[in-house]
Amino acid sequence: MILQQIEQHTLNHSIVIDTLVNLLIDKGIILEKEWYEKVQLKVKQLENNIKKANTQTSDDDSKLGIYYGPMGEA
């Protein structure tokens, strides 16, 4: 049930965004090429952020689910 709701919301948002982008392009507010370039840039930025997050090492054991506090291992 929850997945169906998420799917429906995602579909609705996609339709709204697609309609707004098409309207912006049709009205000459932004060129389709410009829009595509902006989307590609954002995708690359997100990919780089994910790669950075996956390659960063941390000495913080609490991020690993292990915590050593004043009372020992938790």
The pLDDT of residue 53:
87
Higher pLDDT: 3 or 61? It is 3
What is the reported pLDDT for 64? Answer: 58
Secondary structure class of 66 (helix, strand, coil): coil
Residue 44 · residue 38 · CB < 8 Å: no
Q: How far apart are CA 69 and CA 74, in angstroms?
A: 7
Choose between 60 and 16: higher pLDDT: 16
pLDDT tens digits, residue range 26-63? 999 999 999 999 999 999 999 999 998 888 765 554 55
* CA dist., res. 43 & res. 69, Å (int): 40
Radius of gyration for the alpha carbons in the chain, expressed in angstroms and rounded: 21
Instruction: Write down the pLDDT at residue 54.
Output: 85
